[in-house]
Structure 1
């Protein structure tokens, strides 16, 4: 290899380091700094929210009997333990005791949390004080209908609470433009049928359902309308650094606070490109996001602006928990790399959205662009035989993922010495934008 430079990539909890040519373009946003005093910053934000009265004043006016607070599940690296104590202190000071507060983990269609994950999410002290529950989209006994046409059901403990606080963090999102805001209700707290409509074929086929896009994005609009129907009394969103510490706080009105956060996160995470690259190396976002192939698809789609029809994408992702849900796993293996047939089938049956089909549909955006043979995949977590049936070209062997990825890069460079190469160290946490010619 010509003169090279080491580049650290997100991979599991420890990351991996790859050697790439010195000419490689590193696509990453700003390395933002963490807030120096998180507790003080949270108190100031709660007292000076965006287009809203302070949380303490809202609680004093409303005098709620019960308060529900949502948090993201284990797939999101949200520093809950930095802000939940201050939110709970404000709620307690308004006269609401701990036994009238519930923290709801917005699992959407993800699996329930383990006891260890609940402690990781909120900390032992809060877990001992406050009731913490998972949303269960598949359990009708835990849901309440909030709209009939189309039918929408929501976690009853949230919908029936007298005061509702939604928390989360804002990052680029490959379907909804950005995470955070309204996504803390939909899909986080809704029923299976609503999740399926939210991710339906037509919605996912719309090119505006894309990273960094909110305007006329059907995925964003559906989620926002549902969140408004249910009602959110106070939003608390954060932006995070590369090591998952708070860098910005956007709280107050559901829409206004979220929009302000999205604007700043876009500025922080954007990397500009002028044309496609020959080889793009990316990842699944590291732990906890890259623990399933299902979530890994986000990293693939993030790279799309850097891909032309002749580009090759090398994706590394640990996937320690395998492909994802049983339904998703069966679907991927059923189609056995025949992604065109999958697209034909879901287009023909648009009135019936299969669980998790949306993730495979998003993966086909990349497959449509570069083809199966140029979507390279490296993982230690998925059985190698299984990797041969999930619409990727796996880089297999007995060596580690890092060694296999490095060997694939070296062979590509040997065959294409003048190739333009880019690497996306932060994977799906980066927002790629094309310069207009």
Structure 2
């Protein structure tokens, strides 16, 4: 199974559908252009962590249930000694199939009279609403176990478990007390995709930044400002991932349960066991599922932000992931509603800072113009700013005010104008390039795609 790229020398006008949150927007592309369609692989069926088999005989739920149950049986002596299971799980901005992964854990705990609880490892994200919890976990799970939020700004909920190194900085590692109790069997649940901060998600990322304090989260994220995106995104072993993995020296995850999903959100790999080795194996599989050769970059790249589009903080993943598909000086158009604006948690800081070239952001941090408490937002601004240095960035978003965003450096287009804007850009590009047709790349699941160069 491989991610795909299809090329078409377009001779007739045709409408393309772009995923836009829960809706679909249509854009009409003119004739006399070349269109490349880029997408992660889509190939259903549960697979073992070490291989992508071709058979689909097993029912996915039964396969996952059996494998997780088997892993818990193997660890039963340790679990019974601990007397409690704590499940650190990601939030609604991730598509991890927790409805399939959590039931075998609860059933195992219930059968042995061992209490189990879930803590949502949302890092700096806002709390999930009741409706979002029901969609993520299912009411049946919510009725069986307590599900707690991570209060990332509340000092009282943290324990100082040691010191980690983020680049040249030595910073205290403060983790949520619920995860720090060594009388609990700690499990981490998540999904592995290419990630612009960690190389790939998954593994100990569920603790750092998932269950870390504000100061720790800031410094780990700001570490990426020192590196170009090509040095981190899709690189399994990188400085940020090594910092994240160093958490194991202070608090081990007893059992990791990570998945890799295909381009249709179907499970293709279950990665169980040691958090470092299982995550690394999953990253290798994710590279095969989500990686697509860049080949000839597009003059214009059009991408959705699937699966994350609630605000620009998460839509920015599609921005950074698709940069390499866009030629230098070209145009990148990102579709994502951003119904909650820039970000409920970080929007005010971003409005004060604005978006700028990474070197300017770093200079402002060093000079004190951007205060220490904005380091997390500064790391985000550096990543977006790197893309804006490379190409022209355009956002199709109904949740972002056009004029307000222009004042901080972002170009926003309303959904109603999207199709005509694309046609205008194509005509401009047609006049700029000589001896060839304009090349347009259409990317699906832009927040998960991995450019291979």
TM-score interval (norm. to shorter): 0.7 to 0.9
Verify: 1:191 aligned to 2:206, yes or no.
no
CA 1:331–1:342: 2 relative to 1, 3 Å: farther
Q: Which residue of 2 aligns with 1:70?
A: 88
C-alpha contact (below 8 Å) 2:152/2:211 kept by paired residues: yes
Verify: 1:406 aligned to 2:419, yes or no.
yes
CA distance in 1, matches of 2:62, 2:225: 41
Q: Which residue of 1 aligns with 2:76?
A: 59
User: Any gaps of 5 or more consecutive residues in structure 1?
Assistant: 49-53
- Secondary structure at 1:410's aligned position in 2? helix
TM-score by length of 2: 0.85
Q: For 2:365, which of 346, 356, 361 is the aligned residue? A: 346
Q: For 2:68, which of 46, 54, 78 is the aligned residue? A: 46
CA distance in 1, matches of 2:348, 2:118: 33
Verify: 1:11 aligned to 2:11, yes or no.
no
| Pairwise CA distance, 1:10 | 2.7
C-alpha contact (below 8 Å) 1:66/1:96 kept by paired residues: no
CA 1:153–1:264: 2 relative to 1, 3 Å: same
Q: Which residue of 1 aligns with 2:337?
A: 318
C-alpha offsets along residues 314-339 of structure 1, whole Å, 9 cap, x if unaligned?
1111101111035x322332245555
Q: Which residue of 2 aligns with 1:147?
A: 162
Verify: 1:165 aligned to 2:187, yes or no.
yes
CA distance in 1, matches of 2:263, 2:297: 26
CA 1:146–1:284: 2 relative to 1, 3 Å: same
C-alpha contact (below 8 Å) 2:224/2:379 kept by paired residues: no
C-alpha offsets along residues 70-126 of structure 1, whole Å, 9 cap, x if unaligned?
111111112111121112222333x243xx211010110111122222222211111
Question: Matches of residues 360-375 of structure 1 in structure 2 within 5 Å?
Answer: 360-370=381-391, 374-375=392-393
| Pairwise CA distance, 1:62 | 4.3
Verify: 1:297 aligned to 2:297, yes or no.
no
| Pairwise CA distance, 1:347 | 4.1
CA 1:429–1:5: 2 relative to 1, 3 Å: farther
> Root-mean-square deviation (CA), in Å?
2.3
C-alpha contact (below 8 Å) 2:236/2:283 kept by paired residues: no
Q: Which residue of 2 aligns with 1:122?
A: 137
| Pairwise CA distance, 1:32 | 2.0
Q: For 2:203, which of 152, 160, 181 is the aligned residue? A: 181
C-alpha contact (below 8 Å) 1:68/1:164 kept by paired residues: yes
CA distance in 2, matches of 1:96, 1:18: 56
CA 1:34–1:162: 2 relative to 1, 3 Å: same
CA distance in 2, matches of 1:337, 1:110: 20
User: Any gaps of 5 or more consecutive residues in structure 2?
Assistant: 1-9, 47-57, 164-169, 431-436
| Pairwise CA distance, 1:341 | 4.4
TM-score by length of 1: 0.88
Q: Which residue of 1 aligns with 2:37?
A: 26
- Secondary structure at 1:92's aligned position in 2? helix
**Number of equivalent positions:** 413
Q: Which residue of 2 aligns with 1:218?
A: 239
Q: Which residue of 1 aligns with 2:6?
A: none
CA distance in 2, matches of 1:309, 1:352: 32
